[in-house]
Amino acid sequence: MAMTGVLRPGHAQLRVMNLEDGVRHYRDVLGMVETGRDAQGRVYLKCWDERDHSSLILREADRAGIDFFAFKVLDPATLDTLESDLRAYGLTTERFPAGELLETGERVRFEIPSGHLIELYAEKTAVGNGLQVLNPAPWTPAKENGVAPVRLDHCLLYGPNIAEVQKIFTEVLGFYLVERVLTPDGDGNAAIWMSCSHKVHDIAFVEHPEPGKLHHLSFLLETWEEVLRAADILSMNKVPLDIGPTRHGVTRGCTIYAWDPSGNRFETFMGGYQPYPDYAPTTWTFDGLGAGGGLDYPQRKLHESFLTVVS
């Protein structure tokens, strides 16, 4: 597929209730690279194999949760086009100047009907992954620091009106629906997984009465062995695990859910498959999410925390 328009998840800004505890978790346990701190005190991190300056920004606050989730688009002209498309659709957009986030160009922010702030941007300084561009080695020592995921992969957000949200992502931003879970009566969607790429999800939503909630930020590993190693490292560091290591039926991802020191859930996972926009979406019934193994294929149960614990 030609990669134009919205390219990929770019950055997330997360609220943590103790900044240094958060930094220790994401830098030393998860194994991200700290790339900067700004005048507001926000801390910037990236996964070792990401080339752009930052994919995670930590902000100290009196509550946990997510401030915004952003996608990188192809170029500044695409940013202008998508902004006018969003406005034509009826959404209000707001521009943030280059540099408001370190090493990041202008951002277009809009609120979606689930109560989340989504951003688009075209430019962020490429600081590289520590490897030369010409004749590179396959990895650096940073690949072995902590869990060491290769990238911020996607997020799962909880909020109301996900049918409206789906329309915005598919009709304006060029995403397509990859998988979904039906409501118990089968008349609507309780959960949707959408892609702007060849991935099983770039963003996902679950219908939920409280707006603006974070279920998890997800970080990609390359092998099942690395998922098991992640479980060992998280447990050695007394990080509370939620689910796994196991495999989701939905997306086929092999996963661990766990919580950071402020109670923001994160996922470390590998696998899935490579969907195309012409594929019919895979559908799970609501029972299929639990007894059908959609959430946890080996155990076939709907873990209580999946639908109830968010930040």
Would you say 121 or 259 has its CB closer to other proteins?
Answer: 259
Instruction: Give the residue, chosen from 76, 128, 136, 184, that forms a contact with other proteins under the rule CB under 8 A.
Output: 184
Choose, from 11, 53, 116, 201, the residue flagged as catalytic.
201
Contact pattern from residue 275 through residue 304 relative to other proteins, giving x for each residue in contact according to CB under 8 A and a dash for the rest: -----------x---x----------xxxx
3-state DSSP assignment of residue 21: helix
Would you say 228 or 302 has its CB closer to other proteins?
Answer: 302
Q: Is 131 in the site for other proteins (CB under 8 A)?
A: no
Would you say 23 or 122 has its CB closer to other proteins?
Answer: 23
What stretches of the chain adopt beta strand conformation (E)?
6-16, 33-37, 43-46, 56-60, 65-73, 93-96, 107-111, 117-121, 151-159, 176-182, 189-195, 203-207, 213-220, 241-247, 253-259, 265-271, 282-284
Q: Is 185 in the site for other proteins (CB under 8 A)?
A: yes
Q: Does 297 qualify as catalytic in the annotation?
A: no
Q: Are strands 56-60 and 33-37 parallel, antiparallel or unpaired?
A: unpaired
Q: Does 208 qualify as catalytic in the annotation?
A: no
Q: Is 13 in the site for other proteins (CB under 8 A)?
A: no
Instruction: Give me 70's structure tokens.
Output: 């952003």
Q: How far apart are CA 77 and CA 214, in angstroms?
A: 31
Q: How far apart are CA 208 and CA 152, in angstroms?
A: 24
**In the complex, what is the shortest distance from the CB of residue 198 to other proteins, in angstroms, rounded to a whole number?**
29
Instruction: Give me 76's structure tokens.
Output: 């500044």
Residue ranges that bind other proteins, judged by CB under 8 A: 17-18, 62-65, 158, 160, 183-185, 188, 190-191, 206-210, 240, 259-265, 286, 290, 301-305, 307-311
Catalytic residues: 154, 201, 216, 248, 257, 267
